[in-house]
Amino acid sequence: MNSAIITVGDEILIGQVTDTNAVWISQQLNNLGVKVEEMVTVSDDPEQISKTLDRYIGLYGLVIMTGGLGPTKDDLTKQTLAEYFQSKMVTHPEVLDRITAFFKDRGRAMIESNIRQADVPDVCRVLMNHHGTAPGMWFEKEGTIVVSLPGVPYEMKGLMKDHLLPEIQQRVRVPHIVHKTIMTQGVPESYLAALLRDWESDLPGCVKLAYLPRPGLVRLRLSVVDKCAKEAEQLLQVIIDKLLKIIPQHIFGYDDIGLEEALGLLLKERGLTLSTAESCTGGNVARLITLVPGCSDYYTGSVIAYENRIKTDVLHVDKALISSKGVVSREVVEQMANGVKSFYRTDTAIATSGIAGPGGGTSDKPVGTTWICVTYGDKIYSKKYLYGGSRERIIDQATYTAMQLLRRLILDTI
Amino acid sequence: MNSAIITVGDEILIGQVTDTNAVWISQQLNNLGVKVEEMVTVSDDPEQISKTLDRYIGLYGLVIMTGGLGPTKDDLTKQTLAEYFQSKMVTHPEVLDRITAFFKDRGRAMIESNIRQADVPDVCRVLMNHHGTAPGMWFEKEGTIVVSLPGVPYEMKGLMKDHLLPEIQQRVRVPHIVHKTIMTQGVPESYLAALLRDWESDLPGCVKLAYLPRPGLVRLRLSVVDKCAKEAEQLLQVIIDKLLKIIPQHIFGYDDIGLEEALGLLLKERGLTLSTAESCTGGNVARLITLVPGCSDYYTGSVIAYENRIKTDVLHVDKALISSKGVVSREVVEQMANGVKSFYRTDTAIATSGIAGPGGGTSDKPVGTTWICVTYGDKIYSKKYLYGGSRERIIDQATYTAMQLLRRLILDTI
């Protein structure tokens, strides 16, 4: 089965927003073995939408559209689809119930435009949206499935997971593909590729490898095509075992687990508690750790010590040390980690101190210089890093490195 | 002049890479008043490229293509263009000199595939690439300019800046488009549209309005077409003045300024300092505030009090109060705000306490219940909210609301 993705939205055409929906959808479709042949972004304009559908219907088996379904006047996609599929608008009672409940739950009044979101073209099959108010719509014409989804990423993803992906998987006969993603931290993509050159060359022909970098991380996706499930799993195990011998210290998990989740699981498993003392990362470590549901089992909190006075007064960092060694130094970051660990009475702690830029760099300590310290019981480990890129990128890299270092300290692989 | 952007690349169609080139190009073109009508991503496949060009030539004044020009075998775009424009390949001496020098500078040997990069279709005008080895190519047919650029972002940007943008600006007579974005917080998209219905209906025909929601925010983008710059600016001012009378308390800035930046500017301007005490937002407020360069001028830091013991021991929240009122309550969040304000000795403070879910909700305090407190000098303001959506979304909404409340408390518009 082949497919195309249509993104509707002026905000993308003027470069105000990057289209991440199409990327995510194509990843999901490719995982199912559905090839994406084309992605197009058009204006929320009836003529352009209709012309694009004219071109795709009959050509592709599946067309996924996102965007243009909001409650406001500039969202014309639903009306356009009704006209295109020569159908009239009807109120869908189940959707109306859902929208009514949605507003009731939030104690907010429903207005006319919200009610109109329950109107759908009568020829479509409605996909219930459990994550927002705009329903998904499923049309079929000349052997092409056309699905329209809201553009809000979490609503779109919810509808894909709840309805589309399971149904597509059932409907289409696709070549069997087994994917396995290995999560790594600590080596940039190009270095990782160099480190893994021989391992990559030895991969059998039925295995494809993709490097998928994320801020602070690189995911390695292995795809095995046209093997039975058991055979594929066995093959993958052999390949991963080889990989584990080359970069054991950089792998923290599989299949899109977050580093914050992997760290959380380890802390929970060992019955350990964690506190953090952040300077340059400014709360980013705490934010990620607390994004994991149930983190209160192991996380007590953080002291964000942005100002030096907080480092000395709250974390008891030695003032003389800040003067002599500088605030971005091994000595200071170690005192910060020890300070929060005893102040918050935890088993482990993370501390960061660095120059995130764009200002504040010196020839001695340029922008990107970061000291990270992790401590567990009597063990303490600290290291200096020099990160490149924007302020946000430097913060991200320091954040992920810090979490990985603590995992390794606990696992005794540092 | 209108335009389209063609991105060539399988890595984008399988979701491995996000197409940031098209975003950047559309920003640049829009700045010149060249409207981007369509963006499309296709495979590096001669037939698909030719079919797309068939469709665009004669329809748009300008077509910019990126990608598919690398030295490897899977890059077929240049050959496809030569055939499409019925021309033969010739070696371009200036490009060959440039490539030879490029490799000499880097002390690397030139291989056959590098030399072939100096071959270009004889009907095109070559755009010298001072940032890499693949030259840009400029074709014209039936009133359409087709430009092919390499996909490496900094090479593409270099060629755009060196050649394309100046030339387009000179060549084309474009309708003048002026954009203005108004940043709002505190009203969901559908409510905002209802609030602004009359204002929107009164907009003159040359003004387009778009609602662009982001987590916790809604941006309102006004676009004025076909007016001279001065006229457009005056018209926008009148429209914005009217808007300011309807939702003064929800507007925090213009043209994509972040709420964290707007708050930072206000604090700086007034010479005030800020600290934060976060429970449910878990560091997200601190993270955003510290993403702003220079925030150390006003931000001292945060106490992330995830565990109740930190609330009582560090922020001096009354234990009995937690027992009687619950940790998610006005009383507790006010003591948290006062606690961090006096502990960190700041002029202003923000505190949050809520149930981010998915667990922890009760019938009395369901998931999403959040108390937010802001304080400035002797003034204190706290309010309960009920947010919907995922854990991450609840945290985002609480974060933005908290920052906006503090702005309003300082500005005395609460």
Nearest chain B Cα distance for residue A247, angstroms: 23
Q: Which of A171, A201, A232 is the C-terminal boundary of a domain?
A: A171
A34 and A158 assigned to the same domain: yes
The answer to whether residues B273 and B347 touch, using CB atoms and an 8 Å cutoff, is: yes
How many whole angstroms from its chain centre is CA A243? 24
* pLDDT, tens digit (0-9, with 9 covering 90-100), for B369-387: 999 999 999 999 999 999 9
Closest CA to A3 of B385, A155, B307, A31: A31
How many residue pairs bridge chain A and chain B with CB atoms within 8 Å of each other?
A: 252
A338 and A379 assigned to the same domain: yes
Could A37 and B48 be called an inter-chain contact, meaning their C-beta atoms sit closer than 8 Å? yes
The answer to whether residues B37 and B3 touch, using CB atoms and an 8 Å cutoff, is: yes
Interface of A with B in 205-244 (CB under 8 A): 210, 212
**Average pLDDT, integer, range A225-232:** 78
Question: CB of B323 within 8 Å of any CB in chain A?
Answer: no
What angle do the packed helices B46-56 and B77-84 form, to 10 degrees? 50
* pLDDT, tens digit (0-9, with 9 covering 90-100), for A132-170: 889 999 999 999 999 999 998 989 999 999 999 999 888
Could A113 and B193 be called an inter-chain contact, meaning their C-beta atoms sit closer than 8 Å? yes
A189 and A237 assigned to the same domain: yes
Nearest chain A Cα distance for residue B255, angstroms: 10
- Number of independent structural domains in chain B: 3
Could A11 and B210 be called an inter-chain contact, meaning their C-beta atoms sit closer than 8 Å? yes
CA–CA distances in Å: residue A7 to residues A118, B15, B250 = 22, 14, 29
Which pLDDT band holds residue A129 (cuts at 50, 70, 90)? very high
Q: Given this model, what pLDDT does residue B369 score?
A: 97
Nearest chain A Cα distance for residue B3, angstroms: 10
Q: Given this model, what pLDDT does residue B152 score?
A: 83
* B289 φψ region: left (φ > 0), alpha (ψ -120 to 50), beta (else): alpha
Q: With contacts defined as CB-CB under 8 Å, which chain B residues touch A218? A: none
Q: Which of B254, B286, B302 is the C-terminal boundary of a domain?
A: B254
Q: Which CATH number does the domain housing residue A25 bear?
A: 3.40.980.10
- Beta-strand relationship, B144-149 and B62-66: parallel
Q: Which CATH number does the domain housing residue B220 bear?
A: 3.30.70.260
Q: With contacts defined as CB-CB under 8 Å, which chain B residues touch A294? A: 359
- DSSP character at residue B249: G
Q: Given this model, what pLDDT does residue A133 score?
A: 87
Q: Please spell the DSSP secondary structure of B278-296, one letter per residue.
A: ESTTTTHHHHHHHTSTTGG
d(CA B373, CA B111): 66
pLDDT over 60 (residue A323): yes
Tokens of B264: 């930072």
Q: Which of A135, A156, A171 is the C-terminal boundary of a domain?
A: A171
* pLDDT, tens digit (0-9, with 9 covering 90-100), for A244-286: 999 999 999 998 899 999 999 999 999 999 999 999 999 999 9
Nearest chain A Cα distance for residue B193, angstroms: 6
Number of residues in chain A: 414
Could B300 and A307 be called an inter-chain contact, meaning their C-beta atoms sit closer than 8 Å? yes
B120 and B75 assigned to the same domain: yes
B186 and B87 assigned to the same domain: no
The answer to whether residues A196 and A246 touch, using CB atoms and an 8 Å cutoff, is: yes
Question: CB of A175 within 8 Å of any CB in chain B?
Answer: no
B159 and B279 assigned to the same domain: no
pLDDT over 90 (residue A213): no
Question: CB of A191 within 8 Å of any CB in chain B?
Answer: no
Q: Given this model, what pLDDT does residue A193 score?
A: 83
d(CA B282, CA A301): 8
Q: Given this model, what pLDDT does residue B17 score?
A: 79
Q: Note whether ipTM > 0.95 here.
A: no
A162 and A232 assigned to the same domain: no
What angle do the packed helices A77-84 and A46-56 form, to 10 degrees? 50
Q: Please spell the DSSP secondary structure of A1-19, one letter per residue.
A: -EEEEEEE-HHHHTTSS--
A89 and A34 assigned to the same domain: yes
* pLDDT, tens digit (0-9, with 9 covering 90-100), for A99-118: 998 888 888 888 888 889 99
Q: Given this model, what pLDDT does residue A350 score?
A: 98
B332 and B388 assigned to the same domain: yes
Q: With contacts defined as CB-CB under 8 Å, which chain B residues touch A306? A: 286, 290, 295-296, 299-302
Of B37, B303, B393, the CB nearest to A303: B303
The answer to whether residues A145 and A139 touch, using CB atoms and an 8 Å cutoff, is: yes
Higher per-residue pLDDT: A212 or B146: B146
Nearest chain A Cα distance for residue B410, angstroms: 22
* pLDDT, tens digit (0-9, with 9 covering 90-100), for A31-88: 888 989 999 999 989 999 999 999 999 999 999 999 988 777 777 899 999 999 999 9
Q: Give the nearest chain A residue to B344 (CA atoms).
A: A310
B194 and B331 assigned to the same domain: no
Of B17, B194, B278, the CB nearest to A113: B194
Could A72 and B392 be called an inter-chain contact, meaning their C-beta atoms sit closer than 8 Å? no
* pLDDT, tens digit (0-9, with 9 covering 90-100), for A350-359: 999 999 999 9
Q: Which domain holds residue B394?
A: 259-411
CA–CA distances in Å: residue A350 to residues A299, B89, B314, B315 = 11, 60, 19, 21
Interface test with B, best of A102, A297, A306 (most B CBs within 10 A): A306
Q: Given this model, what pLDDT does residue B16 score?
A: 77
- DSSP character at residue A141: E
Q: With contacts defined as CB-CB under 8 Å, which chain B residues touch A111? A: 190-191, 194
Question: CB of A309 within 8 Å of any CB in chain B?
Answer: yes
d(CA B27, CA B30): 5
A244 and A287 assigned to the same domain: no
Q: What is the pTM of this model?
A: 0.77
Could A27 and B41 be called an inter-chain contact, meaning their C-beta atoms sit closer than 8 Å? no
**Average pLDDT, integer, range A331-340:** 98
Q: Given this model, what pLDDT does residue A109 score?
A: 84
Question: CB of A301 within 8 Å of any CB in chain B?
Answer: yes
* pLDDT, tens digit (0-9, with 9 covering 90-100), for A306-316: 999 999 999 99
Interface test with A, best of B41, B273, B292 (most A CBs within 10 A): B41
Q: Which CATH number does the domain housing residue A306 bear?
A: 3.90.950.20
Closest CA to B303 of B286, B319, B289, B320: B286
Could B48 and A39 be called an inter-chain contact, meaning their C-beta atoms sit closer than 8 Å? no
d(CA B20, CA A17): 10
Of A16, A43, A305, the CB nearest to B212: A16
User: Which residue carries 């000595």 as its tokens?
Assistant: A331
Q: Given this model, what pLDDT does residue B122 score?
A: 95
What residue ranges of chain B have pLDDT lower than 70? 71-74, 172-175, 227
B118 and B188 assigned to the same domain: no
Interface of B with A in 113-152 (CB under 8 A): none
Interface of B with A in 351-390 (CB under 8 A): 356-359, 366, 368, 386-390
Question: CB of B10 within 8 Å of any CB in chain A?
Answer: no
Q: Given this model, what pLDDT does residue B63 score?
A: 97
Interface of B with A in 51-70 (CB under 8 A): 55
Buried b (16+ CB within 10 A) or exposed e, B206-241: ebebbbbbbebbbbbbbbbeebeeeebeebbeebee
Which pLDDT band holds residue A411 (cuts at 50, 70, 90)? very high
Taking chain B, what is the end-to-end CA distance rounded to the nearest angstrom? 46
The answer to whether residues A85 and A145 touch, using CB atoms and an 8 Å cutoff, is: no
Q: Give the nearest chain A residue to B180 (CA atoms).
A: A16
Could A299 and B309 be called an inter-chain contact, meaning their C-beta atoms sit closer than 8 Å? no
